Structure 1
Amino acid sequence: MPNRRQVQGIHPYDHPGGGWGALHATAKAVKQQMQSVWAPIALMRVNQPTGFDCPGCAWPDKEHASTFQFCENGAKAVTWEATTKRVLPEVFENNTVQSLLELSDYELENMGRLTQPMAYDGSADKYRPIEWEDAFLRIGQELRALAPKEVEFYTSGRASNEAAFLYQLFARAYGTNNFPDCSNMCHEATSVGLPQSIGIGKGTVSLDDFDHAELIICMGHNPGTNHPRMMGTLHEASRRGVPIIVFNPLRERALERFADPQNMLEMMQYGSTAIASTYYQVRAGGDAAALKGIMKALLELDALQGDVLDYAFIAEHTQDLELLTAELSSNEWRDIESECGISRKELESVAKVYAKSKATIVTYGMGITQHNRGTANVRLIADLLLLRGNIGKEGAGICPLRGHSNVQGNRTVGITEKPSEAFLDRLEATCGFTAPREHGHDAVGAVQAMIKGTAKALICLGGNFAVAMPDPQQSFPAVQRLNLSVHLGTKLNRSHLLVGKETFLLPCLGRTELDNQATGPQFVTVEDSMSMVHASTGKLPPASANLRSEPAIIAGIANATMPDSNIPWLSLVKDYDWIRLLIEKTVVGFDDFNERVRIPGGFRLPLLPVDRIWPTPTGKAMFSLYKGLSEDATVAGGKEVFRLLTIRSHDQYNTTIYGLDDRYRGVFGRRDVLFMNEEDLVARGLEHGDLVDIETITSGRRMILPNITAITYPIASGSVAAYYPEANVLVPLDYIDEECGTPSYKSIPVRITKSSERLVIADA
């Protein structure tokens, strides 16, 4: 490898994922945010039966036999929420909204916890303190003046089942199904695609299945950063000798080698375990071609030696295999290789390993779903599993990796813009009102309605809506034109500062904090990515005496908006058991909810495909027809066009930025970088450390991210990567999967040109 000039903040990180680096980062997060005796108490309660669910990822809990049940990024999430830093009213008095907007996203959230309800004063461009009841009355007055279709109800995936159910009940009693949701931006392809294939929009595996798997295929995800507790499961599987085949455009350290902080021998020996037995750097947008190549090779292997496909399973449980096989026959190997960047020989090797395995799990993340044909990608994964009967048996199945800790639970209890008729019927019978039947807006649809002026209010149950959305050039001004914005949250973020005519900040309790209501301390419930529902009980003192719980705030707004409603909003939050009784009567699978959730570990919701019962219109699992090989729109430009992936750093969770390091990728103290393949750099006359401009080529207007430092990184040729949300300026709002509405954050066609700005080179 040739000598490269030194670039500020860029240097190799040679250690494994996890290990002592993770412990050091955990200690650093505690020191920076909490600095109190509460830190160890809080962390030892994470994911314990009588503690609180981690506000980070949705990976399920193990049997509670180990001392601690949190990972590095889980510790960051906990300390970020339980920080001793506070945003007091004086902060708003001393700073205009415009001046706060000049701070970075990291600086805004690092200011600490919100402590007091605030209302925007447009004449002074400042937030002013407001009493809770006055805020509710003003919000209710604004909502009564609007038509229900003019209001958007956004939900973050960290909201509890109780808060989410009450929230959807409020919106539907008010008269709308407008539910832009964080899942619209990540796993909506799963929610839309899997029901077409197997009848439900959820994964089929349990944590125990990983103990019995003979092969694990990981596609389009980076668990070391985005769902780190999964690394313990992969670590155990690898040490048992289970092959783990990875498809990902970037080399990710934790998928290469990992040291489990709970393995004392490995830690004391400064050792690590190889995770991926084989690592294929598929091109951005090449997953469909790779999947079709594996299946094509599988069919050819079956024709050669027989007994490869599970014909008994296929005959009894599936339909339309002939559509899939005919399409695979029409796909030429040279086209498959060109599209995915993986050779025929390599794909045939994967097929042979798959054919030998009696129990295979495929895990996937947003590298699969955030494409123009993400929904179809999900169905291709289901096709691969169905060919060998790998759904509905021990150690096998499909495993979508959800992000937020309760994003799946939110959808289960009713957060969807397309509710089923059966759900609405049960909701009406239980709660005694007529629910709207017309489908509402998803996240992109909500912003498009704001741009057109047909949406005039936005209520946000957590999250950072505007920043998470694509195309801030359109999204930010649209939010600022609203008549009303209401934000329930724990920390200040940029969306809170994109103020409308009337804007309110309503600070809520965090997952870690004690929630006292009229009948005493309360617990809430969450659903993990494997459909386990369990309790979460905060124990820390609230950050401020002025905080209220999310259910209490929702009830206060609902009561002020619909004072004559027959739904007893304020009574429901006196004891959350009463909310759970409504969930039990409305949502299938929650029988005896209050009793079962009090059992340590909770209970699993019914998943019919696990028993090989397929709730599809045909009663069979359905193979799909995926025409062609490209999972994204074809654009002109040839080798001059790159496919840009937006990615998260290791110091980040979605839009929340804990710090400015991305140590596994060797980036420290900065986020203004573009990851490029070394040969691609050389071919374009660029060097490691050059400043470049990135420009989207699919939009009818100029979308550019200028003066970004290009750095060499092991990424598939033709693919480049930049950090989210900064790179959202390159993602057109209408560049989406038309089946599910998810923006295509993982394969934006861009051109890269050398910038005229001065290079930033480190001192020798």
Structure 2
Amino acid sequence: MATRREVPGIRPYDGPAGGWGALSATAQAVRHQMETITAPITLMRTNQPDGFDCPGCAWPDKEHRSTFQFCENGAKAVTWEATTKRVPPEFFANNTVASLLKKTDYELENMGRLTHPMVYDRATDTYRAIKWEDAFARIGEILRGLSPDQVEFYTSGRASNEAAYLYQLFAREYGTNNFPDCSNMCHEPTSVGLPQSIGIGKGTVSLEDFDSAELIISIGHNPGTNHPRMMGTLHEASRRDVPIIVFNPLRERALERFADPQSFIEMATYASTRIASTYFQVDAGGDAAALKGIMKALLAMDAKQGNVLDHEFIAEHTEGFDAFAADLDATSWDDIEIASGLFQSELEAVAIAYAKSNATIVTYGMGITQHNKGTANVRLIADLLLLRGNFGKPGAGICPLRGHSNVQGNRTVGITEKPSRDFLKRIEDACGFTPPTEHGHDAVKAMESMIQGNSKALICLGGNFAVAMPDSEVSFPAMGNLDLSVHIGTKLNRTHLLVSKETFLFPCLGRTEIDMQSEGPQSITVEDSMSMVHASAGKLTPASEHLRSEPAIVAGIAHATLQNSALDWMELIANYDNVRDLIEQTVPGFDAFNQRIRNPGGFRLPLPPTERKWPTPTGKAIFSVYEGVKEDAEVFGAENVLRLITIRSHDQYNTTIYAMDDRYRGVFGRRDVLFMNEDDLDDRGIEHGDLVDIETITSTGRLLRLSNITAIAYPIARGSVAAYYPEANVLVPLDYIDKECGTPSYKSVPVRVMHAGGV
């Protein structure tokens, strides 16, 4: 076994997820970012009917019955945005872009809120203040000189429905469907795979379904960090003795035990609740094999004893079962075990538990989607649920766990590079212009086009585009080749510093702030992971009088660019009801939008599979066939090859790093670590705490390397290793993607690990 020695910043954390540790971390976030007088009032408005939607995760709210509706990481997101720290023009005058690039991502965002519109001055290598209208005019001039297909319109999932809808209208009237967005890098396999299986690219469960579920299967996600409010739901289910079966390569504290900060008994007694009833450490990239193993066992059980599969549901509501079953029969248990890292007996035990349940929910995250077979993984989960009719009944269904608070809403209102003809026709009828029909660029294609010099401009509605992308060795320099880059955000990040020939940095209002337009204060809307659309209204005084809302900034650029526009952009943003009227006319499901959004809690968009209606070409749900398990077994069984997973720390949300700790994994004050199984360390003669180099195995022979990383022993599946995102993005090749949907494979990169310097 690997020798354990003391390593700076690495020590066991024995507490549960949540509990006093979460309250302490919340207090620290408040103390470091906000005034202690205003912070409690602000936090108590989070996720309330008359308040603002948390800018963190997309987990829905439960009827506002509890004392507070925010979690530790939600409090971090709110205080991070509502910070009292400021980054005015004087700061930029005293700091060159070259000097700022030397700072860490954490240091950059921790400087505080942007206060003025800025433009890059190449002569001094600094940003300087510029008037809004002057900036808009120059951007419009540049855009009119480019072909529309040379421009990329990137969107972060934190943008509101109103901002995203105006953004896609602007780009389409301008003449392009180039919409790289954060969905392309996370849940695109859901958007592509689920429509093939059940006809829609969204989950089918409601929060109430968890109250009647008899079994929850959790695959490839870490709720304690990435969607923490889900922990309350899992906590309730566990205390009702609902089995929760977890598949995850790493042992994650939140999936083991949790103390609810709103439980007086647990807080007073330092008690906690077990979450996972069974925990399977599946190999990274082994999810497809594990799912096929469970389903192979189910079919064998049904053949032996009958009444395991829901044959009536399969016959009435599905097609493709025979080919699906034949493929399972032809898949060997040897290949399943090698590819999944699990034993046949373990997967058979899951099948038995699943067969006993009359209502099962499967939840999944980016551990399923961020693979080169992510779309196939999603379809296999749908197959598992179809076998026992776990759609269209209480307590059952599929639950993809979205990250950003409105990433699902952005897609609903039109942020897609592959718009339907029906949607485009609705826009033409309602808005008076003919949008382009050719498919545009997703995130990877956009970056490839920038690298090749074909794309000349990038407009970013939020986000940290270059840092979020794979292969920073080629992605970062591509930013400098652009004629124009425009960034809309609340804080400074590294992408803003990868300047092009002309670069503009626009400060926008945050979710917590009052949005005042010409007809009064405005509300925006968001859609959560369960298709609930609700209003959000900020209450804080804006960080600067020079801030504008995202809808106003989009409208300002559009107005300056489209000189003969069919739309009155300034009228649209005078009152966001005008934007919602257009959404109602062009996006199905938004009938009486302005009326329904004024109801506390909002409304739910239509989800046909909940009524056992399938908007597929055949009108039925469709089983899939995954033939790659043998191939997976060969790749993952190769000598000396490990599978790298990029992960977020507990003090992190996507590329935003709130602090340098990862409390639940026992990492404090650092991020330069590689999590390894003790046997994998021992096999390579590496000790806990040794410095190592990580190299990606590429098909082209190009070497991708991350050097001088500290290897630490951790309970992770043998053959799998993990490092922090985005630092480890340098190891992810840009072309290592899911060919069906374009999502980068951040979660199963084949790598080799060796002593630093090759020693």
Range into which the TM-score falls when normalised by the shorter chain: over 0.9
How far off is 1:566 after superposition?
Answer: 2.0
State the secondary structure of the residue aligned to 1:589. coil
Q: Assess if the C-alpha contact under 8 Å between 1:286 and 1:630 holds in 2.
A: no
The amino acid of 1:460's aligned partner reads C
Q: 1:65: how far off?
A: 1.0
Alpha-carbon distance between aligned partners in 2 of 1:404 and 1:140, rounded to the nearest angstrom: 30
**Residue of structure 1 equivalent to 2:754:** 753
SS at match of 1:176: coil
For the 8 Å contact 2:338–2:633, the answer to whether it is kept is no
1:124, distance to aligned residue in structure 2 (A): 1.0
Report if the CA contact (8 A) 1:19-1:259 is conserved: yes
The answer to whether the 8 A contact 2:636-2:642 is kept is: no
Q: Distance in 1 between matches of 2:143 and 2:72?
A: 42
Give the match for residue 206 of structure 1. Answer: 206
Which residue is 2:584 aligned to?
A: 584
Structure 2 counterpart of 1:86: 86
Residue 377 of structure 1 contacts residue 631 of structure 1 at CA under 8 Å; is this kept in 2?
A: no
Partner residue in 2 for 1:761: none
Show CA shifts across 1:400-453 (max 9, x none).
000000000000000000000000000110000010000000000000000111
1:563 Cα offset (Å): 2.3
Aligned partners of 1:553 and 1:304: how far apart in 2?
A: 64
Deviations 1:32-68 (A, max 9, x none): 0012422111100000000000000000011111110
Unaligned runs of 5+ in 2: none
What secondary structure, in the 3-state scheme, does the structure 1 residue paired with 2:639 have?
helix
Question: For each residue in 1:551-570, what CA deviation from the matched residue of structure 2 results, as whole angstroms up to 9, or x when unmatched?
Answer: 00000000000122120001
- Correspondence 1:575-614 to 2 at 5 A: 575-614=575-614
Shift of 1:334: 1.4
Structure 2 partner of 1:537: 537
8 Å Cα contact 1:177/1:440 also seen in 2: yes
User: Match of 1:484?
Assistant: 484
2:397 maps to 397
Question: In structure 1, how many angstroms separate the alpha carbons of the residues matched to 2:52 and 2:758?
Answer: 49
Match of 1:230 in 2: 230
1:524-555 Cα distance to aligned partner (Å, 9 max, x none): 00000000000000000100000000000000
CA separation in 1, counterparts of 2:757 and 2:130? 49
1:735 aligns with 2:731: no
Give the alignment of 1:93-132 within 5 angstroms: 93-132=93-132
Give the TM-score normalised by structure 2: 0.99
**SS of equivalent to 1:28:** helix
- Alignment partner of 1:454 is 2:463: no
Are 1:722 and 2:723 matched, yes or no?
A: yes
Report if the CA contact (8 A) 1:371-1:632 is conserved.
no
Describe the SS at the equivalent of 2:574. Answer: coil
Q: Identify which range, 659-668 or 336-345, moves more after superposition.
A: 336-345
Q: Percent identity?
A: 75
CA contact (8 A) 1:696 1:750 kept: yes
Deviation of residue 339 (structure 1)? 1.0
Q: Which amino acid aligns with 1:610?
A: T
Q: Does 1:416 align with 2:416?
A: yes
- Residues 124-143 of structure 1 show CA distances to partners (whole Å, capped at 9, x for unaligned) of 11101000000100111111
Q: Is the 8 A contact 1:26 1:72 kept in 2?
A: yes
Q: Deviations over 1:713-747 (max 9, x none)?
A: 00000000000000000000000000000000000
* Alpha-carbon separation, structure 1, partners of 2:45 and 2:370: 34
Q: Which runs of 5+ in 1 are unaligned?
A: 759-764
Determine the C-alpha separation between the residues in 1 that align with 2:450 and 2:758: 36
Q: Does the Cα contact within 8 Å between 2:47 and 2:69 map onto a contact in 1? A: yes
Code of the residue aligned with 2:281 in structure 1: it is Q
- Equivalent pair of 2:339/2:633 in contact (CA under 8 Å): no
1:65 paired residue number: 65
Secondary structure of residue in 2 paired with 1:48: coil
CA contact (8 A) 2:3 2:687 kept: no
**Deviation by residue 1:13-41 (Cα, 9 ceiling, x = unmatched):** 00000000000000000000012422111
Q: State the secondary structure of the residue aligned to 2:76.
A: helix
Q: Could you tell me which residue of structure 1 aligns to residue 709 of structure 2?
A: 708
Query: How far has the Cα of 1:757 moved from its partner?
Result: 9.8
Distance 2:441 2:21 in 1: 43
Alpha-carbon distance in structure 1 between the residues aligned to 2:15 and 2:547: 42
Q: Deviations over 1:469-510 (max 9, x none)?
A: 000111011111100000000000000000000100000000
Distance in 2, matches of 1:274 and 1:729, equals 37
| Pair 1:299-2:299 in alignment | yes
Amino acid at match of 1:539: K
Query: 1:464–1:67: structure 2 CA closer, same or farther, 3 Å change rule?
Result: same
Using the TM superposition, give the Cα deviation of residue 634 of structure 1 relative to its aligned residue in structure 2, in angstroms: 5.8
Give the deviation of 1:96 after TM superposition: 0.7
Q: State the shift of 1:356 in Å.
A: 0.4
Shift of 1:114: 0.2
Q: State the one-letter code of the partner of 1:350.
A: V
Matches within 5 A, 1:496-575: 496-575=496-575
Which position in structure 2 is the counterpart of 1:218? 218
Change (3 A) 1:459 1:633: farther
Q: Secondary structure at the match of 1:667?
A: coil
Kept in 2, the 8 Å contact 1:373–1:632? The answer is no
Matched, 1:285 2:311: no
Residue identity in the other structure for 2:733: P
After TM superposition, list the pairs within 5 Å mapping 1:331-370 onto structure 2. Answer: 331-370=331-370
Q: Structure 1's 737 and 291: CA in aligned 2 closer, same or farther, altered over 3 A? A: same
Distance 1:158 1:633 in 2: 38
Distance, in Å, in 2 between the alignment partners of 1:659 and 1:743 is: 26
TM-score normalised by L of structure 1: 0.98
Alignment match, 2:427: 427
- Deviation larger for 369-378 or 35-44: 35-44
- What are the within-5 Å matches in structure 2 for residues 560-709 of structure 1? 560-629=560-629, 635=635, 638-698=638-698, 699-709=700-710
Equivalent position amino acid for 2:726 in 1:
P
Distance 1:620 1:185 in 2: 29
Distance in 2 (alpha carbons) for counterparts of 1:125 and 1:246:
50
**Residue of structure 2 in register with 1:445 after alignment:** 445
- Does the 8 Å contact 2:2/2:687 carry over to 1? no
Give the 5 Å matches for 1:233-272.
Answer: 233-272=233-272
One-letter identity of the residue aligned with 1:333: W
Flag the 1:140–1:634 CA change in 2: closer, same or farther, 3 A: farther
- How many residue pairs end up in the alignment? 758
Matched, 1:744 2:745: yes
How far, CA to CA, are the matches of 1:466 and 1:249 in structure 2?
Answer: 28
